[in-house]
Amino acid sequence: MNERKRARASGNAGNGPVLKTLLTFTAITAIAALLTGCGSSSGGGSRGSGAGAAEGGQGRPAYAPVQNERFAVGTVELSAILLDNQKYARWTFGIKLRLPVQLRSIRIEDVTAGAPVLLVNDQAPQENGNAWTGYTGAIEPSASGLPWLFDNAPAKLTFRFTVTDLNGQDSVLEQTVTYPVKTKKDLIKWYGFSA
């Protein structure tokens, strides 16, 4: 199986040479985004639940990160990755642990359209500095792969984070993220995606 197929088959593209390629490209993209103000990251805005929505702009979605007593959403980011010299999109999700908890699993689903679509299913989550990061597989950056990105209306996406600890206790957080039309156009341009 080539790297592209392995990345697509993985619900959490987090192993082997694919991870090294993805992390290298993502790191380069992140550095470029910091230097140029580009990117689609969750940075900025209030971290408390019930707080006003963070401002979107410069490629960033608008949202107020949700949290409960145990966890907080730290990252919801759409970025570009390079596999076999082709650009793909990929979601990066991050969770901050607010209490010391041993993790059993983390599931992230897109529940925008009602029926959940599984994006990440990490059955052996590893925390690093009271935080966890997970990735989707490669997504075709086109109108069929990401229809919300290529239409001419603001996009409001909802992701369900289900975090299970070693005692079997589930914590569920739903994070809504809004992409204004300008932000979507900026992402398409910056990442070189085409419908």
Q: How confident is the model at residue 24 (pLDDT cuts 50, 70, 90)?
A: very low
Measured distance CA(46)–CA(190) in Å, rounded: 26
Sign of the CA dihedral 50, 112, 79, 70? positive
Say yes or no to pLDDT of 172 above 60.
yes
Say yes or no to pLDDT of 31 above 90.
no
Check residue 58 and give its pLDDT: 53
3-191 topology per CATH: Immunoglobulin-like (2.60.40)
Check residue 73 and give its pLDDT: 96
Q: Which residue has the higher pLDDT, 16 or 47?
A: 16
Give residue limits of the domains in the chain. Answer: 3-191
User: Is 53 buried (19+), middle (13-18) or exposed (0-12) by CB count in 10 A?
Assistant: middle
DSSP bridge pairs for 132: 95
